[in-house]
Amino acid sequence: MGGANTRLTILNPGNPTGLKFSVEHGEARCLFDFGLEHAPGRAPFSLGLTPRPGRELEDLLAVGSAPALDGVYARDGWDGRTEVFISHLHLDHTSLVRFLHPDVPLHYPAGMEELRQAAETSGYLPWRSPAGAGVADRQSVRVGEIEVRFVAVDHDLPGASGFLVTTPDLSIAYTGDLRRHGLHPEVTDAFAREVKGVDVLLQEGVMLGYVAPDPAPVERTEAEAIAEIQRLIGEARGLVVVNVYGMNRERVAGVAAGSQAAGRRFSMESRMGALAGWPEVIPDPAEIAAAPSSHCLQLGFESLRSLIDMRPPAGSTWIQGGGPPMGPFDPGWPVLESWLQALRMDLQIVSCSGHSRPRDIEHIVAAVGPRVVVPVHSRAPQALQVPGVPALVPVPLVPYTRENLLAASGSATS
């Protein structure tokens, strides 16, 4: 194809988090997602080790946690050709945004704006100023000859989006983070229809190659997870603690409803409450200790010490419902278990991922029917095998042209 010069570069494939990639055509460049990999015990800055104050970006660049890019960081100035697109607000997609130069155009789903403001004002997620622009679902942004269309998906927080990227010689769809077992599977299915027949599909695959612990957790839909949490709250005695992530507003609403039905007051830590849009802040520990069966609390791992003054009676319940630590692979998990054992609290695990299950990944890829699928955001990208759809496992930092990408399908010249 004469004049074709689109280049797709995977800056960080995500292992399994921290995916970042760019699409270039001519002088225009679009960057997609700009966060840090969440890998406790593996990432250079984890287990309490953080970048030095005032040198955060330099430290992150030094160990490869932030991409070495010209023309986007505040310290370098804007190159006049690069624009940034965010799929959703989770930290592995956004936590580097605060380092962007103020002039870099920044675009994100309009549906996440309320949550973004709550995360920024609460101090949970520092953000660049100016904030950027929210883009409505099915609306497009043009950068040179690159057109980026926002296409909503269902994830476990408000305002998640995928993208349909078109240039004069290539069409690329990026799923963002999505699932079909949430409360809105029709949104994800509509994304697949919207991008059907693209040249290239960048498919998230966090759950590919997942090896369940023994015993394996019960596989639940989001509706089933909420119902199970509500059942546990209703049957519990003593104090109930639910470790739930504030950005999952639908699950938090379910916890609140279950607490009300059980005659318990539901309250949250201030930052998580801000994320969730929940106004009730955890009261004084003495109040909880005086009437533990009247309360259901959201507490995170970092707040385990506060239970000492709350004095939960033996047999109280800790529901691990989506907040970190995420499972036995996390170094924090045995620490959590030791605390609950010391306090004689019962641990109940209710899990439901915000990411597609392997069978649903296959369903989405088959429904889109791309010429080639590029698995990203995964520890096991080679595990993605869908009959009739060639897969290309990308090499980081290698620019892929139309010819490179479509060679896998045998149709590079069509």
CATH of region 222-349, choose from 3.30.365.10, 3.30.465.10, 3.40.50.10710, 3.10.20.30: 3.40.50.10710
Q: What is the pLDDT of residue 107?
A: 98
For the record, the structure tokens of 65 come out as 């946690």
C-alpha to C-alpha distance for 367 and 364, rounded to whole angstroms: 5
C-alpha to C-alpha distance for 252 and 234, rounded to whole angstroms: 16
Contact between residue 23 and residue 409 where contact means Cβ atoms under 8 Å apart: no
- The closest alpha carbon to 340, from 362, 378, 307, belongs to 307
Q: What is the pLDDT of residue 411?
A: 60
For the record, the structure tokens of 336 come out as 């959590």
pTM: 0.96
For the chain (414 residues), the mean pLDDT of every run of 10, in chain order, is 77 90 97 93 91 96 96 97 98 98 98 98 98 98 98 98 98 98 98 98 94 82 98 98 98 98 98 98 98 98 97 98 91 96 97 96 98 96 96 96 86 51
Which segments of 185-331 does DSSP mark as H helices, in order?
A: 185-194, 222-235, 249-261, 270-276, 285-290, 307-310
Task: Name every residue whose Cβ is closer than 8 Å to that of residue 179 and which is 6 or more positions away in sequence.
Answer: 154, 155, 156, 185, 188, 353, 354, 355, 356, 357, 360
| In the chain, where the domains are located | 7-210+354-409, 222-349
Provide the β-strand partners of residue 386: 389
Taking domain 7-210+354-409, whether its CATH number is 3.60.15.10 is answered by: yes
Q: Which H or E run contains 375?
A: strand 372-376
